[in-house]
């Protein structure tokens, strides 16, 4: 029975780091067979005996090369991964920072050759992180192409995927590096997004010489919210992953419901915080793809990880999107005070753990965050321990957002007609290019007849939003299924509304004409609205192409041929926006 359930888990190893290894599968059934084999046979390949670091030969000055290109690192199955190594000029034994990438190791040439260049995929666009972390005097940097990608493309040939895990490649790479003459036996890892997920997968395999990890903008494991938000496919995100070569959409589309056994097994088999035993520094942003999942990863590492993970892992959150960590310009806004922080923080973390420096890292706070529109970093022992209060704002049929419940007249209904052939466009948010991303101007929504806006009066004091805002309201529609999307914005003195966060939810099994209730939860944020500015929420039924459109027929995915318009009525009798506010 258990075996059958595992075989049905068609997305059990889906995602940035593992779906790449399954790209090109012809069918759902084929993936299911591989998932079953993965569950039963993974790990059977012999693990090479790690060579003690102190047994490595001493480096020979005459053979010392500071830059070594296309080095072949052997794996346990006889294949090899291509790597570029950047060593200090002076021969010796050094700690190594390992970066494992599916985005071409050659793109790292500029920053690691000390050229003044954008770091590109090194830090998902972050000049700050790659260049300020760089220390060619004290570290070896090893940049390795993933199996199946670029210089390591041939290493996937003939591989029985069900008997191989990408984390095993990470294990073998760590241990090979530790055995080299230039190594002092201490290996740390660094990188963002897919590069961050691979760090978790490597750590789960327990390579003996792995000391610490710096996963930026990456959450542990694979789960439904990586690809769907409350029932809506993250269409733009999934299509971008396909363009990057992961080939995920064919698999993800077959599991649209969160209660499916496939997702439960996927999370069970890939989400293993209890297997992480090294200190981790997690870094994310308010407009990152998954700040909630990264927050959950961090909290579970503290609760379930090994002793060193629990005691020494830390979290940094700032006003950044997924591709611009540490950069001032975010969407249409700038946050100069949050720049040049994460790179030095990562350097301090790595220096402490890999070089043993008494540099103050041990005394840095567990959690540090930079609220958008503030001027300084804040700190706490835990995110959950921050003093907050819930402030309620009520939506009225007059379009007002007030601290008092609306009058009987203002508690009536507002209606709109939504035509999915003309969806409300994505104007920014937690997206990957080519979609607009970050905190962008959303004034383009104001003229749409299928978007309802609710706005407060100018605030009489600063409003320090901190946590997850929640929107709930009553509704009725004329179809058996519908979606609701919301965009939370700050309206500045010039009247322009800038995105704080967006949210969405699908309502299944709706009875046409009958009253229903919807709740939308926005991702975690810290955003300060200045006195005199206003808070606005836009409510609609689309935000495309961020979210897949709903055909309103009961089908799980978009079908242009059968799509129907949607008549929506919003009831304001108990329509409420709950805003967590940080106490002074």
According to DSSP, the β-strands at 470-477 and 516-521 are antiparallel
pLDDT tens digits in sequence order for the chain, 584 residues long: 333 333 333 333 433 334 433 232 222 222 232 233 333 333 334 444 545 544 456 777 788 999 999 999 999 999 999 999 999 999 999 999 999 999 999 988 766 654 333 334 434 445 556 677 889 999 999 999 999 999 999 999 999 877 899 999 999 999 999 999 999 999 999 999 999 999 999 999 999 999 999 999 999 999 999 999 999 999 999 999 999 888 889 989 999 999 988 899 999 999 999 999 999 999 999 999 999 999 999 999 999 999 999 999 999 999 999 999 989 999 999 999 999 899 999 999 999 999 999 999 999 999 999 999 999 999 999 999 999 999 999 999 999 999 999 888 778 899 999 999 999 999 999 999 999 999 999 999 999 999 999 999 999 999 999 999 999 999 999 999 999 999 999 999 999 999 999 999 999 999 999 999 999 999 999 999 999 999 999 999 999 999 999 999 999 999 999 999 999 999 999 999 999 999 98
Catalogue all structural domains in the chain, each as residue range(s) with its CATH number. Answer: 42-222+271-380 (3.40.50.1820), 388-582 (2.60.120.260)
**Is residue 500 within 8 Å of 427, Cβ to Cβ?**
no
Return all residues near 268 (Cβ < 8 A) that are at least 6 apart.
none
Separation in Å, CA 88 to CA 353, 358, 361, 490: 19, 22, 24, 48
Report which of 325, 321, 334, 345 is spatially closest to residue 373, judged by C-alpha positions.
Answer: 334
Task: Give CA–CA dist 401/451, Å, rounded.
Answer: 15
Q: What is the pTM of this model?
A: 0.89
Return all residues near 146 (Cβ < 8 A) that are at least 6 apart.
20, 81, 100, 101, 102, 152, 166, 169, 198
Instruction: Tell me the backbone φ, ψ of residue 334, rounded to 5 degrees.
Output: -130, 140
Return all residues near 362 (Cβ < 8 A) that are at least 6 apart.
352
Angle between helices 166-178 and 194-204 (to 10 degrees): 80
């Amino acid at each position: 029975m258990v075996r059958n359930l595992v075989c049905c888990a068609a997305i059990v190893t889906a995602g940035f780091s593992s779906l790449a290894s399954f790209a090109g599968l012809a069918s759902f059934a084929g993936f299911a067979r591989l998932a079953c084999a993965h569950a039963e046979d993974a790990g059977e390949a012999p693990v090479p005996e790690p060579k003690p670091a102190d047994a490595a030969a001493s480096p020979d000055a005459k053979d010392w090369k500071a830059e070594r290109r296309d080095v072949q690192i052997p794996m346990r199955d006889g294949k090899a991964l291509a790597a570029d190594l950047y060593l200090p000029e002076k021969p010796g034994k050094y700690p190594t920072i390992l970066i494992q990438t599916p985005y071409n190791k050659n793109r790292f040439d500029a920053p690691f050759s000390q050229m003044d260049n954008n770091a590109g995929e090194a830090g998902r666009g972050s000049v700050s992180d790659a260049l300020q972390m760089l220390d060619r005097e004290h570290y070896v940097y090893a940049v390795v192409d993933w199996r199946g990608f670029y210089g390591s493309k041939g290493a996937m040939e003939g591989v029985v995927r069900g008997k191989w895990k990408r984390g095993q490649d990470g294990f073998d790479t760590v241990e090979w590096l530790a055995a080299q003459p230039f190594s002092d036996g201490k290996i740390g890892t660094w990188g963002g997004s897919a590069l961050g997920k691979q760090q978790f997968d490597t750590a789960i395999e327990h390579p003996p010489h792995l000391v610490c990890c710096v996963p930026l903008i990456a959450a542990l494991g694979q789960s439904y919210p990586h690809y769907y938000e409350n029932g809506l496919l993250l269409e733009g995100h999934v299509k971008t992953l396909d363009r990057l070569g992961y080939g995920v959409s064919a698999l993800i589309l077959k599991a649209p419901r969160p209660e499916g056994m496939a997702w439960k097994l996927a999370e069970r088999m890939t989400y293993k915080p209890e297997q992480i035993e090294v200190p981790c520094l997690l870094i994310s942003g308010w407009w990152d793809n998954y700040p909630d999942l990264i927050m959950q990863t961090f909290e579970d590492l503290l609760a379930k990880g090994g002793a060193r993970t629990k005691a020494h892992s830390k979290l940094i959150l700032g006003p950044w999107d997924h591709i611009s960590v540490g950069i001032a310009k975010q969407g249409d806004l700038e946050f100069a005070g949050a720049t040049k922080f994460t790179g030095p923080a990562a350097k301090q973390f790595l220096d402490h753990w890999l070089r043993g420096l008494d540099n103050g890292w041990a005394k840095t706070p567990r959690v540090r965050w930079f609220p958008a529109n503030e001027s300084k970093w804040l700190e706490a022992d835990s995110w959950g321990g921050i003093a907050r209060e819930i402030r309620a704002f009520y939506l009225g049929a007059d379009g007002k957002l007030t601290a008092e419940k609306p009058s009987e007249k203002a508690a009536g209904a507002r209606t709109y007609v939504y035509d999915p052939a003309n969806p409300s466009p994505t104007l920014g948010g937690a997206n990957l290019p080519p979609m607009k991303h970050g905190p962008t101007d959303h004034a383009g929504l104001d003229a749409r007849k299928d978007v309802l806006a609710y706005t407060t009066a100018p605030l009489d004091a600063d409003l320090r939003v901190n946590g997850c805002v929640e929107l709930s309201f009553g509704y009725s529609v004329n179809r058996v299924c519908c979606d609701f999307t919301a965009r939370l914005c700050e309206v500045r003195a010039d009247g322009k509304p800038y995105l704080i966060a967006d949210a969405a939810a699908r309502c299944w099994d709706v009875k046409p004409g009958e009253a229903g209730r919807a709740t939308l939860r926005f991702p975690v944020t810290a955003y300060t609205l200045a006195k005199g500015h206003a808070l606005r929420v836009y409510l609609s039924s689309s935000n495309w192409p961020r979210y897949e459109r709903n055909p309103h027929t009961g089908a799980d995915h978009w079908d242009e041929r059968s799509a129907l318009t949607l008549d929506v009525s919003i009831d304001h009798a108990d329509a409420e926006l709950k805003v967590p506010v940080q106490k002074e």
